[in-house]
Structures are given as C-alpha cells and as structure tokens.
Amino acid sequence: MFSKKKKYYTILLITLFFSLSSCDNHEAITYWPEYGEDSTEKGIRYVIGVHPLHNPQRLHTVFGPLADLLTEKIDNAFFEIEASRNYAIFDEKLYSGRFEFALPNPYQTIRSLKHNYQVFGKMGDDDNFRGIIIVRKDSGINRVTDLKGKAISFPAPTALAATMMPQYFLHENGLDVNQDIKINYVGSQESSIMNVFLGDTAAGATWPPPWRALSKERPQLLDELEIKWETSPLPNNGFVVRNDVPMDIVNKVSVILFDLHKTKAGQDMLKPMELSQFEPASNQTYQPVKLFLKKFNDHVRKIEY
C-alpha cells in the first residue's frame, strides 16, 4: 500500500519538479524584472519582497490582494509582490536593496538592518513563530535521540523557525546536529513535509502556517504524520522598508496594514496568511532574535548575523 502511494507521489513530485524547472529559465524575467523606470501609469512603483513562506505561485495568491489594496488606497503609488523560488535568491535580492518593502523572516530582518532597511511593522501571532518537527505516526520515533543516524529534512539553512530553531532544539535535547543526523536542505516548507510523508526522511522541520495550509489541501497528511516536538516561539516575521522610501508612503502603508484586522474584508485577506493581524514594530522588537542567533552561532553552527 505504502509503495503504491509513494510511487504516486513520486510521480507527482517529478511532474512538479519539471514544471518548476521549466519556470527556472523564466525566473530571471519574472523575478528580476528590468523596468527601466521606477514608475508606471498608476504611479511610483514599490516592490514588496516576501521571503519563501510558500512556493511562488501560492505566495502571489496569498499576498497579491494586499499589494492590490495598497495600490487602490495610496495615490500615485503602485505596489506589487515579488516572490523568489528559494531563500538564497531572496537573500541576494534583499541584501542588494532590490525591494522597497520586504517581509523577511526574523533572521533576515536582523541582517537587513545592515543593508539600508529598518523595521516598521511585523506579523502578529508570535505564538505561531515556532519550529515544529514532524514524523510519521508509524515511525517508532518517541525520543529526540531516536533520530540519531537518521535523515531530517529542513527547508533551508537560513530558515529561522523551520530550520535554526528546530536544530537548536535538537542540540538542547542531546543531538550533535553536525554529526549525529543527516541534514537534507530541500528548498521549501512543503518539500520538507512531503519528504517525511514519502519516507525519504525520518523527520522534517517546518513551522505551523505551511503545515496547516498543506494538510488542509492534503488531509491524508494528518492521517499519517504528526507533530512530535515544537520549539519555544520568537517574534514573528518583520515588515521592513528601505531607508530611502518617503516617510509619508511608509505611514500610509502602516495605517492600511495595521487596520486590516478591523474589517471583514481585511480579515478575509489575512486568513490565507494564517494571520490575525499586522502590528507596529521597530528594530528593538527583534532583540530576542539577536540573542537567539548568538546562542545558535556559539553552540550549533556558524552563521552571519
């Protein structure tokens, strides 16, 4: 039974791989556009970069309505969402100043402060910003040390909730993550989960929003997978703005973002984000993240922060 199912999903993933591969050559156009001018017939163009919370198609579906709302409400301004197919590409764009606004994870938020950005807001629901480690229900894995010698999938080295926080959790619970396990960086949250479902890894790390979204689409995941461990939370993803963006634009964006949850239409926009609200924040909000990154750097593996 499992082998037939694995064969089916392997074919599905291969099909997805080739469809995404066919987009790779197009990515240079889709995600690195050459505008020539920073304005359109609708006004000054502002690009909002969102880190790979989801694959690019899902990300545009989830966050596109927000860009449309900002364009509608703010005169002489045109906002658009720009996705990246992986963390490395997003990091390159963010740290080179590609985006006027960006929604990076807290690790990328901290690093962006050295690259001409500042924090003005964040996603709420900090309790969501925690790592979770998923295993098959029939795996026989009950203790963290049962993972010794086994493969574990993670989205990317720079994913904070879905990689760094779970790796630190494993360290705290008796595993040397550099020696005791085989780390598979698989490129996305969805892939980390599906690797466990298909039996390619013994466990997979992610964080709650993509787990909830994917398991709603594929209820069989809930039948065969379970959240075995979760980490303590940290401040959720930051909203940053490049320092040269006019303050009146930042203020107008802030008012719209922070009032979204006050209307039914805004709540409907937040729901696909697995989010109750955006809220004001500053660089200082992410001090707990800086402290965590120092511990991670000192005890798990070296990172730039």
Q: What six digits make up the tokens of 42?
A: 């609708």
pLDDT in tens, the chain (305 residues): 444 444 444 444 444 443 333 333 333 333 333 333 455 567 899 999 999 888 888 899 999 999 999 999 999 999 999 999 888 999 999 999 999 999 999 999 999 999 999 999 999 999 999 999 999 999 999 999 999 999 999 999 999 999 999 999 999 999 999 999 999 999 889 999 999 999 999 999 999 999 998 999 999 999 999 999 999 999 999 999 999 999 999 999 999 999 999 999 999 999 999 899 999 999 999 999 999 999 999 999 999 98
Q: Hey, what amino acid is at 211? A: W
31-127+236-299: CATH, from 2.60.120.10, 3.90.950.10, 3.40.190.10, 1.10.10.60:
3.40.190.10
**pTM for this model (two decimals):** 0.82
- The H-assigned helical ranges of 148-227 are 165-172, 189-197, 208-217, 220-224
CATH 3.40.50.10800 assigned to domain 130-230? The reply is no
Contact indicator for 214, 184 with CB cutoff of 8 Å: no
Domain residue extents for the chain: 1-26, 31-127+236-299, 130-230
Q: Judge if 31-127+236-299 and 130-230 fold alike in CATH terms.
A: yes
Name, in order, each residue with C-beta under 8 angstroms of 16's C-beta and a sequence gap of 6 or more.
none
Two tokens, residue 53: 């919370």
CA–CA distance, 204 with 188 (Å, rounded to integer): 11
